Amino acid sequence: MKYYRDEGIVVGGHKLGEADRIVVVLTRNHGLVRAVAKGVRRTKSRFGSRLEPFMYVDLQCHVGRSLDVVTQVELLEPFAKGLGSDYDAYSAASVMAETATRLTEDEPHTRAQYLMLLSALRSLCNREHPPRLSLDAYLLRAMAIAGWAPSLVDCAQCGAPGPHPAFSPALGGAVCSACRPQGAALPSSETVLHMAALLSGDWERARAAALHTMTEASRLITVYVQWHLERRVRSFAVLD
């Protein structure tokens, strides 16, 4: 029988039968893994609580025909415990987990996304930054890793030097007047600078932004992510 061992973050799952559960784990070396955790919903399960969403675990799986089977789990960091006591942090983590799943489900090389999610969840647990700022920074960086970094200065369409007044998620970010499509957003220059600070990790500038600037940036980032993922991220609803 073939086994493999890896560390990963539980990003989702759903019930299977009366006592089992299919867990979805973003791993360091094996990409996005879907595996059956047998008996995990029973009260006396050996590792039920270790496979809750946001748990950082070391797991061993048996390779199955259609789905792998979890045979052993060791807890590395209980992110779920630290996030469960703060609704805003838990909501942000939910969006992160779903976005990471969407970005990696068809990708063979996912280590960079795994490390980005691990860092973001740890930051949320440690309350290093306000949850929504941490989420927006994660979303911009995760999209950049996936090859969809927004242009925040030069025109995303023709490359004309910026800054430019309009922002189009469909075209890749900032656009000049000549390339601006109908209905493009017209964010303030402060909003674009705030997004650039989040993307680059300039937390001093990001935290100093006005509330309306942060709010406008969050709306743009949400639309940008969902446009390029070509699907609705359902967990965004918990932020409204």
Burial letters 180-215, b for 16+ CB under 10 A, else e: beeebbebeeebbbbbbbbbeeeeeebeebeeebbe
Q: What are the DSSP E strand ranges found in 17-84?
A: 20-27, 32-37, 56-62, 68-77
pLDDT the model gives residue 65: 80
Tens of pLDDT along 196-217?
Answer: 999 999 999 999 999 999 999 9
Tens of pLDDT along 34-67?
Answer: 988 887 777 666 666 788 889 999 999 988 788 8
pLDDT the model gives residue 43: 60
Distance (Å, whole) CA 111 – CA 115: 6
Tens of pLDDT along 142-184?
Answer: 999 999 999 999 999 999 998 898 999 999 999 999 999 998 9
Question: Average pLDDT of the chain?
Answer: 90
Residue with tokens 């973001």: 120
Lowest-confidence segment of 73-82, 92-101, 131-140 by average pLDDT: 73-82
Using pLDDT thresholds of 50, 70 and 90, give the confidence band for residue 238: confident
Percent with pLDDT over 70 in the chain: 96
Average the pLDDT over 10-27 and give the result: 87
pLDDT the model gives residue 160: 93
Contacts of residues 157-163 at CB distance under 8 Å and 24 or more positions apart, as own/partner, are 163/189, 163/192
Asked if pLDDT for residue 120 goes beyond 90, the answer is yes
Asked if pLDDT for residue 185 goes beyond 60, the answer is yes
Asked if pLDDT for residue 110 goes beyond 70, the answer is yes
Domains and CATH numbers, the chain: 3-77 (2.40.50.140), 81-149+187-239 (no CATH)
pLDDT the model gives residue 13: 86
